[in-house]
Amino acid sequence: MAGRPSFAEAFPDANTAHMDNRNTSVSIITIGDELLIGQTVDTNSAWMARALNDIGFWVQRRVAVGDERDAIWRALDEEAAQSRVILITGGLGPTADDITKPVLCQYFGGRMVVDEGALANVQHIFQLLNRPLIERNLKQAEVPDVCTVIPNRRGTAPGMWFEKDGRVFVSMPGVPHEMKGMMEGHVLPVLEERFRPTPVVHRTLLTAGIGESFLAERIRDFELTLPRNIKLAYLPSYGMVRLRLTGRGGDARMEAELQAEFDMLKQLVTDVLVTDEDKGLPQVVGDILDGRGQTLSTAESCTGGYIGHLITSVPGASRYYLGGAVAYANDVKMRLADVRPATLAAHGAVSRETVLEMAHGIRRRTGSDFAIATSGILGPDGGTPEKPVGTVWVGLSAEGREAASHFHFRFDRQRNAELAANHGLNALRKFILA
């Protein structure tokens, strides 16, 4: 369609239609049968909610619907009654079950036309891939004539921006990489300038070694006396609990008040405090090692390399993580981690003695400053009366010292592995700092 304004032309400075609503609420609609049957996990909503919250928007509702016309239509009506901004992902692919675009065209009273910019983008991508273009691919460039097209630099399906009755509707692909590109490059900047939301400020700390209910009881009086503009949230996860204070306002006075409350909160949980920043345990451990110029290696049995995965999921881990071994079978424990046959015969694979030899062995072989080793019985079977399912040993090694911790977890195999990794990393953190 010649002459269609681009997204940048439609919103040159994003301030020509400024709506000064400092408490703009957002709804997120995710579309796809695969979400409802559990075949695909919805990571889009979580990412979008964080990105929106960072600039002051509060996501009021998240709704998942299938690839069904009436369900999508109802969701649009219901969320428009709740929120000023409705963000939609999914259903924009080239196959017959991707019906979001025709439903939106009908919902907003438009007709399908070819967008020249989107068409050029599709042709360019297929030229780069050296693949033939078929009619199904070309139809990706068709959009309702009542939308403003959002360019997709990472895929073939363009995004679409609609406005109706003072509401903004934005439809984006369900592919996370493509959605993030549109959000960061186009949608978030325009929404922020258009609505100018009240900033939201967070302060987050991480605790370990105390349950959520015990933590809540400890800080009960603190929570009851919080100012009305500051809220406390408990975020438990695998043996740890995050405490987050949130304030709205963004001015210097509010930030000072929030910081004062946060400092008081830290004093109440000093003995179980892991970090007073919004970081995960792998990054905390990595920052300690990196700051000291020290290194780590791993020898894992029951956790199957999961601790190594967590460590290397942090950018820059190559500065302090040397590597490790997944020593699952006993003969591999002996060959790669230098566990003595006599130790295994006398104490078994799941024992204090074995994990300490694993940790010492991998540390000597890699030349690292510290090492962590795990061995356990994660289930659902394999336990004995002496070593029931959920039994885990963690061994730690450094030059001239060692430590071992014994845990017993009571969940399924996956959760037991995650708990073992997190408890092991926290034990490592304490061992390094000691």
List the beta bridge partners of residue 85.
26, 168
Q: How would DSSP label each residue in 134-176? A: -HHHHGGGEEETTSEEEP-TTSSSPEEEEEETTEEEEEE-SSH
281-433 CATH: 3.90.950.20
Coil/strand/helix, residue 295: coil
H helix runs in 185-313, sequence order = 188-195, 212-218, 220-224, 252-268, 281-292, 306-312
- What the block records as the tokens of 50 is 């964080």
pTM for the predicted model, two decimal places: 0.80
Reference 167, options 87, 246, 277, 103; nearest CA is 87
Backbone angles phi, psi at 398, to 5 degrees: -145, 170
Q: Cβ distance 28 to 87 under 8 Å?
A: yes
Q: How would DSSP label each residue in 73-89? A: HHHHHHHHTT-SEEEEE
What is the rounded radius of gyration, in angstroms, for the C-alpha atoms of the chain? Answer: 27
Level-2 CATH architecture, domain 200-275: 2-Layer Sandwich (3.30)
7-195 CATH: 3.40.980.10
pLDDT by position in tens, the chain (length 434): 444 566 767 766 544 444 444 458 999 999 999 999 999 999 999 999 999 998 989 899 999 999 999 999 999 999 999 999 999 999 998 888 889 999 999 999 999 999 999 999 999 989 888 888 888 888 899 999 999 999 999 999 999 999 999 999 999 999 999 999 999 999 999 999 999 998 889 999 999 999 999 999 999 999 999 999 899 999 998 889 999 999 987 688 999 999 999 999 999 999 999 999 999 999 999 999 999 999 999 999 999 999 999 999 999 999 999 999 999 999 999 999 999 999 999 999 999 999 999 999 999 999 999 999 999 999 999 999 999 999 999 999 999 999 999 999 999 999 999 999 999 999 999 999 99
Domain layout of the chain by residue ranges: 7-195, 200-275, 281-433
